[in-house]
Amino acid sequence: MRKQVGLLYTLPQILWLVVFFAAPLCIIVMYSFLKKGLYGGVELQFSLEAYTAMANPNIVLVTWRTLKISIIATVLTLLIALPCGYSIARSKNQAIRLFLVIVPFWTNFLVRIYAWIAIMGNEGFLNDILRALRLTTESVQFLYNQAAVILVLVYMYLPYAILPLFSTIDKFDFTLLDAARDLGATRFQSYVRVLLPNIKGGLVTAGLFTFVPIFGAYAVPLLIGGKDSYMLGNIIADQLTKTRNWPLASSISMTVTVLTTGLVFLIAMRKPREQKQVFDADPAFLQVAPDGKR
Amino acid sequence: MVTLRKMVLNLFGLALICTLLVLSGCKGGGQSKTLYIFNWTYYTPDSVIQKFEQEYGVKVVYDTFASNEEMFAKLKAGGANYDITFPSGDYVSIMIKEGMLEKIDKSKLKNFANIDPAVLAQCDFDPGNQYSVPYYLGAAGVAVDKTKVQSYDRSWSIFARKELANRMIMLDDMREVMGDALKYLGYSVNTTDQRQIDAARDLINNAWKPNLLKFDAEAFAKSFAAGEVWVAQGYAESIFAEVDKSKWNTVDFFIPKEGGPSYLDSMVILKGSKNKELALKFIDFIHRPEIYAEFCDYFGFPSTANIPARALKKGESWYRPEDLLNCELKKDVGADLEKYNAAWQAIRVGK
């Protein structure tokens, strides 16, 4: 009896996942193994062409570039999100600070991209200020390169990193930091060797929440990027809408999906072990602790 | 209590799904007095749509696309119930081959006679106009901000000028940009000769691309209007829609003397249209001389397709019909498109 009720409860969720996730994914898998139609679409004929076509040096280059941009952007995001999450967790007015992190979500994604163009463009506010200060006469070109793409990606996905980091740090027992200090650790040591190992789970979640969407970024490289910023997301869109090669678009999408889910699985497999060691900060550190009691 | 809350939440979820299902159901059936148009961004003035709605007492739903490829991909994917769309010539022939179009009963189009026979003669993508009625013949050109660039040749060679580096932009459109380079080199925009395609690729990669800020088909007009770039290859109507009217006299728009790929967009009725009669009425309405003139005036177009409208036009045009003389209509190159794809990918991907 109970079992049936449980199934009934999860039914909407299952239905949702099947219709909007599993079914489209199956279609993509199927398309990636079919022959491309001359004018788009697919022909019902098995073919591995879409996968062999990925060996094309151009696509390899773009994959490498996408990986590079994603890693740099994720690392930068984490470096900024960590102190943010920490300060929110320790703050007395958490609610207000969290609210401030969430506020940008109320503005449309594209509008925020165009706002960056208005600020950093060749004729943007920043250049106006530089010219007014007579630091430059010509416009400085901030946008339309990889660095600008990384900057805007970091900005876009920062909240996705701050929120999980905050919720993990919030659960952290801060007296442990005091204990570490009492045992002779410097402030920096107490963060690196006590705080960080204890919030590993949050760091991993934050990293995934930023890396995965950035790896599939499309609009930011399209609008903020220049000639050197063509990423995998753009190739997929172009194969689908411009060069009419749906199987190739599908096979690249599949590769991206397999790579990212593979990453998630790898990390998820390791997780149970980490959760058990919530308390043992760093055995080596405890051994060198100069208190003699250990 | 917890289970009660869960139940309420689940009921809420179910209600949401039901609402979605009901809403999506509404769209399909019922009202036959709505004409669904799938058109290019900036292509039919609102005033023309409104006049049509008033005269026939119908509602028009106007959705837009940015490229033939996008339009084709969306229609091909199915699910969209549009009545009329506006493909360029190469896509008219593709859509005929793919069986996506309804035949058009020209006897019901009394304004078909207004269309320039010279334009009809170019419709070899649909001989005898069985499936398509010309909408507009035009070409992309080059817009120059005269306050920033004083002396220049009205040629594609402007993109090779190093002193304008990073202040120029070209469309993220394979056939357009490749076509410009092919024309500049004296070849056909529809060539399938690998050596000619390679030569065009090398010209773009070595001479033009180093000076370009980027390839952009979405925001090129915005970038030009904002002063981000001084030279933009693109469509006049997009450019002038973004540039403030007070600055129109500082913009020079020209079709380069070598010519380029021209386009002939046609109105077609899609297979499965539920409003074929109304769609025919819309097509006929567009070619009424006063309506066609209103359309051209709104965008600063020359009246390329409709002869009587030329006399009724009140405004200036950004270019003249004779500027298109050296241009060549883009045609479907079939499987040889792969050669263009490879060349374009090399251009877009490389640093």
A38 touches chain B (CB under 8 A): yes
Percent of chain A having pLDDT more than 90?
69
Same domain, B294 and B345: no
A230 touches chain B (CB under 8 A): yes
> Under a CB-based contact definition with an 8 Å cutoff, are residues A142 and A214 in contact?
no
* Nearby residues of B29 by Cβ (< 8 Å), 6 or more positions away: none
* Nearby residues of B346 by Cβ (< 8 Å), 6 or more positions away: A58, B201, B205
Q: Which of A38, A144, A244 sits opposite B214 (nearest CB)?
A: A144
**Residues from chain B contacting residue A144 (CB–CB below 8 Å):** 166, 213-214
Average pLDDT of the residues of chain A: 88
Same domain, B115 and B232: no
Q: What is the pLDDT of residue A243?
A: 83
Grouping H, G, I as helix, E, B as strand and the rest as coil, residue B85 is strand
Q: What is the CATH number of the domain that holds B39?
A: 3.40.190.10
The verdict on residue B90 lying in a domain is: yes
Token readout for A10 is 């999860």
Phi (first) and psi of residue B142, to 5 degrees: -125, 130
Q: What is the pLDDT of residue A4?
A: 72
Task: Flag residues of chain B having pLDDT under 70.
Answer: 1-32, 79, 351
Token readout for B89 is 């010539």
Same domain, B246 and B270: no
Question: Which amino acid type is present at position B30?
Answer: G
Same domain, B117 and B100: yes
**Residues from chain A contacting residue B69 (CB–CB below 8 Å):** 40, 241-244
The verdict on residue B244 lying in a domain is: yes
Q: What is the pLDDT of residue A268?
A: 78
If you measure CA to CA, which chain B residue comes closest to A120? B228
CATH of domain A60-278: 1.10.3720.10
**Residues from chain B contacting residue A228 (CB–CB below 8 Å):** 351
If you measure CA to CA, which chain A residue comes closest to B99? A39
**Residues from chain B contacting residue A243 (CB–CB below 8 Å):** 69, 174, 337, 341, 344-345
Evaluate if residue A293 carries a pLDDT over 90.
no
The verdict on residue B325 lying in a domain is: no
Question: Which amino acid type is present at position A32?
Answer: S
Record: contact A227-B67, CB cut-off 8 A: no
Please report how the helices A232-241 and A246-276 are oriented relative to each other, as an axis angle in degrees rounded to 10.
150
The verdict on residue B22 lying in a domain is: no
Same domain, B212 and B339: yes
Which residue, B196, B178, B174, is CA-closest to B187? B196
B201 touches chain A (CB under 8 A): no
Token readout for A271 is 């997780």
Grouping H, G, I as helix, E, B as strand and the rest as coil, residue A34 is strand
DSSP B282-337: HHHHHTSHHHHHHHHHHHT----SBHHHHHH--S--SS-GGGGTT-EE----GGGH
Record: contact A58-B350, CB cut-off 8 A: yes
Q: Which of B69, B229, B349 sits opposite A242 (nearest CB)?
A: B69
Which residue, B250, B246, B204, B235, is CA-closest to B300? B235
B219 touches chain A (CB under 8 A): yes
B66 touches chain A (CB under 8 A): no
The verdict on residue B12 lying in a domain is: no
Same domain, B43 and B103: yes
Q: What is the pLDDT of residue B73?
A: 84
Record: contact A226-B214, CB cut-off 8 A: yes
If you measure CA to CA, which chain A residue comes closest to B173? A242
Record: contact B228-A244, CB cut-off 8 A: no
Same domain, B247 and B152: yes
Put simply, the chain B residues between 239 and 268 with a CB less than 8 A from any chain A CB are none
If you measure CA to CA, which chain B residue comes closest to A16? B17
If you measure CA to CA, which chain B residue comes closest to A219? B218
**Residues from chain B contacting residue A240 (CB–CB below 8 Å):** 73
A12 touches chain B (CB under 8 A): yes
The verdict on residue B152 lying in a domain is: yes
Question: Cα distance from B171 to chain A (closest Cα, Å)?
Answer: 12
If you measure CA to CA, which chain A residue comes closest to B18? A12
The verdict on residue B18 lying in a domain is: no
Record: contact B345-A16, CB cut-off 8 A: no
Evaluate if residue A270 carries a pLDDT over 80.
no
Record: contact A40-B72, CB cut-off 8 A: yes
Q: What is the pLDDT of residues B235-294, one digit of tens each?
A: 998 999 899 999 999 999 999 999 999 999 999 999 999 999 999 999 999 999 999 999
The predicted model gives A236-264 an average pLDDT of 89
> Under a CB-based contact definition with an 8 Å cutoff, are residues A231 and A62 in contact?
yes
Which residue, B42, B22, B117, is CA-closest to B86? B42
Put simply, the chain A residues between 156 and 215 with a CB less than 8 A from any chain B CB are none
Q: What is the pLDDT of residue A145?
A: 93
Q: What is the pLDDT of residue A264?
A: 85
**Residues from chain A contacting residue B213 (CB–CB below 8 Å):** 141, 144, 226-227
Same domain, B289 and B213: no
Q: What is the pLDDT of residue A2?
A: 58
Q: Which of B14, B341, B349 sits opposite A243 (nearest CB)?
A: B341
Q: What is the pLDDT of residue A271?
A: 58
Same domain, B132 and B276: yes
A123 touches chain B (CB under 8 A): yes
Same domain, B67 and B126: yes
Domain containing B338 equals 141-259+330-349
The predicted model gives A226-248 an average pLDDT of 90
Same domain, B255 and B281: no
Rounded CA-CA distance A154/A73 in Å is 6
> Under a CB-based contact definition with an 8 Å cutoff, are residues B109 and B284 in contact?
yes
- The number of distinct structural domains making up chain B is 2
Same domain, B208 and B338: yes
Residue of A11, A17, A38 for testing the chain B interface, max B β-carbons within 10 Å: A38
Q: Which of A9, A122, A141 sits opposite B10 (nearest CB)?
A: A9
Q: How confident is the model at residue A1 (pLDDT cuts 50, 70, 90)?
A: low
Q: What is the pLDDT of residue B6?
A: 53
The verdict on residue B107 lying in a domain is: yes
Evaluate if residue A286 carries a pLDDT over 50.
no
Here the ipTM equals 0.79
Please report how the helices B276-286 and B289-299 are oriented relative to each other, as an axis angle in degrees rounded to 10.
70
> Under a CB-based contact definition with an 8 Å cutoff, are residues B103 and B282 in contact?
no
